């Protein structure tokens, strides 16, 4: 076996021994019981549906944007009046186009489930819609979830390079030692 082949074999052996192949998957890629926590800019929202209307609310801090559509064809409800209650507190809504309403809350909602009730009046039609707004406290707690994976890969890469460097040093030491023995043997 030539020296280059031995070096390749030792390097491969050290790489395999130093690399835990089963742990390459980062958080959320282990297919275990717990799903990965969502990261990003998903805002809390609720849906309230009846046979006639569908109301979707998107909360962004104190701003609440409401979209009112017909359940049958998802067309925006024209010339509608919307009365809204969040957790038993009446919230004033302002129309902003066909089927779009906005409301400003007095204060941000606390994490947890908040009951939503809306009364829709559109021409001769009146309907009561109910839903729940579920706000989670930990939605934006960790925005650097991907950073830990890179640190882990970096540590493994440094470990692999260190192992390779040690293998090269050992090989070099053996080469020098073999030449010294050969030189001493020829001098005698």
CB 99, CB 77: distance < 8 Å: yes
Q: Is the dihedral of CA 111, 115, 121, 125 positive or negative?
A: positive
C-alpha pair distances (Å), 95 with each of 75, 98, 158, 162, 173: 16, 8, 59, 65, 81
CB 75, CB 69: distance < 8 Å: yes
pLDDT at residue 26 in the model: 59
Tell me the whole-structure pTM to 2 decimals: 0.54
Q: Is residue 55 located within the same domain as residue 130?
A: yes
Q: Is residue 31 located within the same domain as residue 84?
A: no
Instruction: Name the pLDDT band for 100 (thresholds 50, 70, 90).
Output: very high
Range 95-113 average pLDDT: 90
Of residues 94, 108, 88, the one with CA closest to residue 65: 94
CA angle 127, 90, 66 (to 5 degrees): 60
pLDDT at residue 140 in the model: 47
Domain enclosing residue 49, as ranges: 45-135
pLDDT over 90 percentage in the chain? 34
Q: Is residue 71 located within the same domain as residue 31?
A: no
Q: Is residue 49 located within the same domain as residue 78?
A: yes
Instruction: Name the pLDDT band for 29 (thresholds 50, 70, 90).
Output: low
Task: For residue 75, report the phi and psi dihedrals to the nearest 5 degrees.
Answer: -80, 145
Q: Is residue 50 located within the same domain as residue 131?
A: yes
> Within 13 Å and on the Cβ side, how many CA atoms surround 127?
19
More confident residue, 26 or 137: 137
Q: Is residue 178 located within the same domain as residue 118?
A: no
How far apart CA 120 and CA 108 sit, in angstroms, is 24
Q: Is residue 21 located within the same domain as residue 66?
A: no
pLDDT at 82 over 80: yes
How far from the centroid of its chain's Cα atoms is residue 93's Cα? 32
pLDDT 10s digits, 105-151 = 988 888 889 999 999 999 899 999 999 998 887 644 444 455 566 77
């Amino acid at each position: 076996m030539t020296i280059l082949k031995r070096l390749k074999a030792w390097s491969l052996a050290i790489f395999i021994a130093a690399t835990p192949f089963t742990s390459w998957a980062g958080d959320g890629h282990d297919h275990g019981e717990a799903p990965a926590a969502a990261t990003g800019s998903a805002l809390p929202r609720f849906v309230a549906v009846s046979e006639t209307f569908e109301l979707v609310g998107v909360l962004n801090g104190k701003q609440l944007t409401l979209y009112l559509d017909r359940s049958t064809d998802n067309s925006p409800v024209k010339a509608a009046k919307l009365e809204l209650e969040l957790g038993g507190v009446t919230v004033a809504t302002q129309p902003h186009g066909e089927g779009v309403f906005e409301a400003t809350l007095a204060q941000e909602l606390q994490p947890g489930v908040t009951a939503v009730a809306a009364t829709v009046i559109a021409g001769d039609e009146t309907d009561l819609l109910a839903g729940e707004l579920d706000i989670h406290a930990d939605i934006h707690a960790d925005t650097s979830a991907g950073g830990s994976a890179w640190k882990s890969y970096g540590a493994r890469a440094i470990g692999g390079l260190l192992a390779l460097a040690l293998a090269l040093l050992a090989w070099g030491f053996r080469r020098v030692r073999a030449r010294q023995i050969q030189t001493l043997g020829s001098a005698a």
